[in-house]
């Protein structure tokens, strides 16, 4: 079965701009989605406002020279990170256990104990607080979001929060570790940001820790729900390593984590270190195949939703993050999905940007009695299945 929503296409044309990572002029547009919500984690308490949320276009371009992918139609003016922004995953036991291991390794590798951790794009500050507790260090969180700092400020040797964007003046903070998790993919001028990080660490001699999604998996799985407006920059292990190497860093480690979903880079200003992974040919092949893999996943999920619709079944999504927004808006599947479930109480009673779906607590499922549950992140499958079993019912469970 073939299915392509009218606002989705696979162009094969030159990108309008040079590659933001390596400045090459050879990048080409390979995938496009028109009219998607610009924010996917903003908390909206009005259904109409959620449905009419500002829209932008995604035109994914691939640079054959460094492997970087980016939204060639991205307009940063459409994003406002000072709004109420909820992205914490701390409610999940699976996530917390994994993060604890990440922190232990980071502290050991960088000798952070007793020092200063500066986190760029810290969100609420959960990672900052947990790491400072674990390493008895001082923490500075930098994030323009209004939600930044809603954690225990007494963690470790104390936390403080700067509600602003990271800049050259923050080099004065003398970071022993400069962490930037799930933030770089939201920034378009990635080479400028890497240079800024280098400037921030060069004098004092600290380490950089970066975590971003792994685009290679997205391409290989045809995971269209992982391509959305807020993410304008898409890295592979190779392109991430190449960017920071080119920006004057020596690579300490580059790992694929969390069920193949995340890349983690540890580096320090200097020469030498590990060589970036040579994945250019593999990436180019994955980009080429994406036209088919993405069409196949679109057709598969369109089929699942159509089946539920024609059988008059109640279908809900589990997980209200960006993946749910990407899934719903790319498929154009607004009507078939009854509600979106999330375990984060801060999200309950709010609505998904762009589609207006109500976000409900797992407990609501005893009332909704879904026939089918679609899990937006397979990493949580066991945890969600256990919750569903506790709530009773016999929904058929699928995961993207």
70 SS3 class: strand
Report the alpha-carbon distance of residue 395 to residue 316 in Å, rounded.
Answer: 10
| Total Cβ atoms within 10 A of residue 141 | 28
Nearer to Zn ion, 127 or 244 (CB): 244
228 SS3 class: coil
- Shortest reach from residue 245's CB to Zn ion, in Å: 13
Nearer to Zn ion, 145 or 233 (CB): 233
Range in contact with Zn ion (rule: CB under 5 A) among 16-24, 89-97, 126-134, 192-200: 16-24
Range in contact with Zn ion (rule: CB under 5 A) among 5-13, 24-32, 42-50, 120-128: 24-32
Nearer to Zn ion, 234 or 318 (CB): 234
- Shortest reach from residue 277's CB to Zn ion, in Å: 15
DSSP conformation letters of 296-331: HHHHHHHHHHHHHHHTT--EEEE--SHHHHHHHHHH
**Site for Zn ion (CB under 5 A): how many residues?**
8
Nearer to Zn ion, 24 or 385 (CB): 24
Provide the token pair at 103. 């922190």
Half-sphere exposure of residue 242, counting CA atoms within 13 Å on the CB side? Answer: 19
Question: Which residues within the stretch 92-111 sit at the binding site for Zn ion (CB under 5 A)?
Answer: none
Q: Is the dihedral of CA 160, 161, 162, 165 positive or negative?
A: positive
Q: Which of 5, 17, 24, 279 binds Zn ion (CB under 5 A)?
A: 24
Q: What is the DSSP letter of 5?
A: -
Q: Which of 8, 15, 21, 212 binds Zn ion (CB under 5 A)?
A: 21
- Shortest reach from residue 168's CB to Zn ion, in Å: 24
Nearer to Zn ion, 235 or 351 (CB): 235
Question: Counting contacts by CB under 5 A, is residue 22 touching Zn ion?
Answer: yes
Nearer to Zn ion, 19 or 359 (CB): 19
| Total Cβ atoms within 10 A of residue 187 | 20
Q: Using an 8 Å Cβ cutoff, are 32 and 4 in contact? A: no
Report the alpha-carbon distance of residue 248 to residue 203 in Å, rounded.
Answer: 13
Range in contact with Zn ion (rule: CB under 5 A) among 19-27, 31-39, 333-341, 360-368: 19-27
Q: Is the dihedral of CA 226, 227, 231, 237 positive or negative?
A: positive
Range in contact with Zn ion (rule: CB under 5 A) among 11-19, 118-126, 143-151, 307-315: 11-19
199 SS3 class: helix
- Shortest reach from residue 240's CB to Zn ion, in Å: 12
Query: Parallel, antiparallel, or unpaired for β 359-360 and 337-341?
Result: parallel
Question: Counting contacts by CB under 5 A, is residue 17 touching Zn ion?
Answer: no
**Site track 52-91 with Zn ion (rule: CB under 5 A), x = hit:** -----------x-xx-x-----------------------
Q: Is the dihedral of CA 66, 39, 81, 323 positive or negative?
A: negative
Question: Counting contacts by CB under 5 A, is residue 365 touching Zn ion?
Answer: no
Nearer to Zn ion, 79 or 283 (CB): 283
Residues that bind Zn ion (CB under 5 A): 19, 21-22, 24, 63, 65-66, 68
């Amino acid at each position: 079965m073939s299915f392509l929503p009218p606002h989705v296409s696979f162009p094969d044309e030159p990108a309008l701009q040079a590659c933001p990572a390596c400045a090459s002029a050879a990048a080409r547009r390979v995938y496009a989605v028109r009219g998607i919500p610009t924010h996917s984690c903003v908390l909206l308490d009005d259904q109409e406002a959620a449905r009419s949320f500002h829209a932008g276009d995604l035109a994914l371009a691939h640079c054959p020279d460094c492997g970087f992918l980016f939204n060639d139609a991205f307009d940063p003016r459409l994003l406002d990170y000072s709004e109420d922004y909820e992205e914490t995953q701390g409610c999940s036991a699976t996530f917390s256990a994994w993060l604890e291991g990440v922190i232990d390794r980071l502290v050991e590798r960088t000798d952070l104990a007793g020092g200063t951790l500066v986190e760029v794009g810290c969100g609420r500050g959960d990672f900052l607080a947990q790491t400072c507790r674990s390493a008895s260090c001082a923490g500075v969180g930098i994030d323009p979001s209004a939600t930044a700092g809603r954690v225990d400020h007494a963690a470790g040797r104390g936390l403080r929060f700067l509600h602003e964007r990271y800049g050259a003046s923050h080099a004065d903070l003398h970071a022993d570790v400069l962490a930037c998790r799930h933030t770089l993919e939201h920034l378009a001028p990635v080479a400028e940001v890497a240079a800024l990080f280098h400037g921030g660490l060069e004098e004092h001699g600290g380490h950089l820790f970066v975590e971003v999604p792994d685009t290679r998996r997205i391409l290989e799985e045809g995971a269209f729900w992982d391509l959305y407006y807020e993410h304008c920059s898409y890295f592979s292990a190779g392109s991430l390593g190449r960017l920071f190497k080119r920006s004057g860093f020596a690579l300490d480690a580059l790992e694929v984590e969390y069920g193949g979903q995340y890349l983690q880079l540890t580096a320090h200003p200097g020469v030498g270190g590990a060589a970036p992974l040579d994945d250019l040919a593999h990436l180019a092949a994955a980009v080429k195949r994406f036209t088919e893999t993405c069409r196949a996943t679109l057709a598969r999920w369109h089929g699942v939703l159509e089946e539920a619709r024609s059988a008059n079944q109640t279908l809900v999504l589990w997980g209200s993050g960006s993946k749910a927004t990407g899934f719903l808006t790319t498929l154009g599947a607004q009507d078939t999905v009854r509600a979106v479930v999330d375990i984060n109480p801060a999200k309950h009673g709010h609505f998904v940007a762009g589609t207006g779906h109500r976000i409900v607590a797992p407990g609501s499922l005893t009332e909704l009695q879904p026939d089918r549950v679609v899990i937006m992140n397979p990493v949580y499958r066991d945890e969600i299945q256990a919750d569903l079993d506790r709530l009773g019912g016999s929904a058929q469970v699928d995961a993207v």
